[in-house]
Structure 1
Amino acid sequence: SVSAAGKLLDQMHVSMARLYDRIGEGSKEVIAEAGDVARKMTQSVIENPDALVWMARVRQKSEHAWAHAMSSSIWGLVFARHLGLAPDVMQTLAQGLLLSQVGKTRLDDDLLNKQGYLSAEEYKRYQKFVEEGVAILSRTPGISAPVIKVVEYHRERHNGSGFPKGVTGDRIPLLGKIAGIVDHFQALIEPKPGVQPMSPSQAISQLYAKRNIEFQDDLVEKFIQAVGVYPAGTLVELSDGSVGVVVGQNTDRKLFPQVLRVLSPEKTPLRKQQLLDLRQLNSNGEIQLKVARTLPEGAYDIDLESCRLQSGGWGLRRWVS
């Protein structure tokens, strides 16, 4: 359920903060905790992928690297589930993505905390975080080689433009390719401070434009199939002028998601928010409503966390039951 996903995310935040603070100690206890988080996330996504995605989108943003790693791992699990990967492989992917940012603990604070884009010289320094992360994990007992490979290859690109080695195509392992797509997607929708975030649908469009360039084309298309054209957390304006937030996918009709309507066609807040399934037909057998356009995050001062709280869980509990 959404409630269970929210509790899991709260536990994950605590665990990830502790993990990134203590990763250099090489503690078996810390590594075991990372594995436990990955296992719980994997099971949650297998049971209900939209619930964890939705809760991750409504949680308050954090500037910490581990928050990016945690969100990336959720997208990675949703993608891996769609691909039909085995649960143990999904868990390896999740753990690799959770640990993908540990090398940033070795970078200077001025580099990590800089607002906006980095200069060419700064970016070269920044790129070292992958090698630093691999070095930390390689000397940490209990981290498997496949997990380390996810970290090692998650910033490589199909055309060789990635780092740290600039490898191309099939020299990048499958889990590394998956990790690269979801890490990039997460960076687009929740970038570092000072960079304008994209809506999920805008990020999907950018990924699609980079297929067979930075990312393997069929994997990009399968990722879009997995998360939908309108991923959970996307603000949308409907064909009647009302506004809502996507809370779930209809796997058989990705263009017609489940939407929590929060504003009327006149753009005034609804006293009672409504959960809509855009697949529903009217008496003439026609689609009643469809997505007219996506909206930037924060449009009409809509706050995703407030939407969740104001809904009182009414529609969301029904949606995930």
Structure 2
Amino acid sequence: MLELIKLTPDQLEVGMFVSGLDRSWLETPFKVQGITIQSQEDIRQLAALCEYVFVDKQKSITLELDTGSQSSPSTSNRSLKRAAAKARPRLEKSEYLEGRELSPYRDETDWHTEYPEATKAVTTLSESVEGMFQALGRGDRLDLLGIKQSVNPMIDSVARNPDACIWLARLKQSDEYTYQHSVACSVWAVVMGRQLGLPKTDLRSLAIGGLLFDVGKLKVSDELLRSPKRLTGADLDLVRQHVFFGAEMAREKSNVNADITAMILQHHERYDGSGYPDGLQNQKIHVFARIAGIVDCYDALTSHRSYAPAIAPSQAIKHLHEVKDIEFQAELVEEFTQAVGIYPAGTLVELSSGEVAAVISEYRTRRLRPRVMVLLDENKQPLRNVRSLDLMETTHDDTGAPLDIVTSLPPEAHGISLSDLGF
């Protein structure tokens, strides 16, 4: 008898037979209806396309795994039971967003139209944040009004089309990590809020909270913050005090709202209670702080740090999915993935032709076939004239072979600096 089990992509394992999707197979790059999961790449592709799939339990028992061995019925049953045990009833947005008014956004501009406006907005924001950090470092009080004014153009740009601001958020320098990290997290938080359909008043709180949740690190020594090794013991305890230092700075301005304060205090809390400072769990963590935790983790993983190199965005998304409902709420991880995509704007990718390109746009609606800008030829040599390529329209290379994205690359791979491109 046919026995199908509905699973989310993070519950899939190698060897399972996926017989159905939450969409038509024609909307996917898979050539047949029904696939055996042969690798983690198959799972990643399914996660990029689907919110849930249907696994045929009987076929999963007998199909070969990518190791070349066969799984026994007991092994496959254990895998399916383990996956099913991870499942919990998914929450509706109205439940985890605390009844906030939601309204979906639609793209109003394309990437090329929005890029000049986004550049002005992010430049203004960066200059404002740099000045804010310098002023706070001198002991001045937080200029909340100035911050509100500086985030508004960025919020407006993201609301129209987030592609350009996401591209600019990727252009970070490793020697300015705290300052640039704050700007990028502000952008990611607003992009996430847009995906959720939050009103602009909430987007403003997310933007400001993203700028401020690490501001307490100004009271921690650079020696600790730039340590080439992971901290432990008393040093780690001291760095963790930054959440209290930041909250104290914010409280000096009585009109910092509760959403922003929660982002500062709780962005290191984790969904399973393993975070700090209070070990809060699940819905006891403010929803904006849950968002802050995700964007903080994602931007840290995709940025150069003193103790770890940057990883590719797709790897960072994979990590977030691996810790769903452990460190971060599953619904919010899935929304963040929808918002930034597997290959967000500014991601370097290698094509099946051997060429290297940067993703420009359409990464949210066409996750595996976005628009890209080809920068290096098949020998990884710079092209004299870079060219734009729509992978939805151009499906084969000059030799007639299928043209696809093979993998995403870490920032600055092959010596590429996106900030040098100019438009």
Q: Which moved more, 1:146-155 or 1:88-97?
A: 146-155
Given that 2:172 and 2:303 are in contact with CA atoms closer than 8 Å, whether structure 1 keeps it comes out as no
In structure 2, the partner of 1:121 is 234
Aligned-partner Cα distance in 2 for 1:101–1:126 = 11
Given that 1:106 and 1:129 are in contact with CA atoms closer than 8 Å, whether structure 2 keeps it comes out as yes
SS in 1 for 2:358: strand
In structure 2, the partner of 1:296 is 410
Written as runs of structure 1 = structure 2, the 5 A alignment for 1:190-205 is 190-205=303-318
- CA-atom RMSD in angstroms: 2.0
Q: Which moved more, 1:72-81 or 1:186-195?
A: 186-195
Say if 2:399 is the partner of 1:256. no
Say if 2:280 is the partner of 1:167. yes
Structure 1 residues 252 and 166: CA distance shift in structure 2, 3 A: same
Structure 1 residue 281: Cα displacement:
5.1
Structure 1 residue 145: Cα displacement:
2.3
Aligned-partner Cα distance in 1 for 2:129–2:154 = 13
Structure 1 residue 20: Cα displacement:
1.8
In structure 1, the partner of 2:291 is 178
Structure 1 residue 288: Cα displacement:
5.4
SS in 1 for 2:170: helix
Deviations 1:238-265 (A, max 9, x none): 1211111112234332111111101112
In structure 2, the partner of 1:156 is 269
In structure 2, the partner of 1:35 is 148
Given that 1:95 and 1:147 are in contact with CA atoms closer than 8 Å, whether structure 2 keeps it comes out as yes
Runs (5+) with no aligned partner, structure 1? 314-321
Deviations 1:172-211 (A, max 9, x none): 1111111110011001111422321111111111111111
Structure 1 residues 142 and 103: CA distance shift in structure 2, 3 A: same
SS in 2 for 1:72: helix
Structure 1 residues 225 and 147: CA distance shift in structure 2, 3 A: same
In structure 1, the partner of 2:186 is 73
Aligned-partner Cα distance in 2 for 1:64–1:256 = 31
Structure 1 residues 237 and 97: CA distance shift in structure 2, 3 A: same
More helix by share: 1
In structure 2, the partner of 1:317 is none
Say if 2:200 is the partner of 1:87. yes
Matched residue count: 305
TM norm structure 2: 0.68
SS in 1 for 2:357: strand
Aligned-partner Cα distance in 2 for 1:287–1:157 = 46
Runs of 4+ in 1 over 4 A off after TM superposition: none
TM norm structure 1: 0.89
Look up the equivalent residue of 1:263 and give its one-letter code.
L
Given that 2:349 and 2:408 are in contact with CA atoms closer than 8 Å, whether structure 1 keeps it comes out as yes
1:25 to 118, 140, 150: 140
Structure 1 residues 163 and 287: CA distance shift in structure 2, 3 A: farther
Structure 1 residue 40: Cα displacement:
2.1
Structure 1 residue 22: Cα displacement:
2.4
Structure 1 residue 225: Cα displacement:
1.0
Q: Which moved more, 1:55-64 or 1:31-40?
A: 55-64
SS in 1 for 2:189: helix
Quick check: which has more Rg, 1 or 2?
A: 2
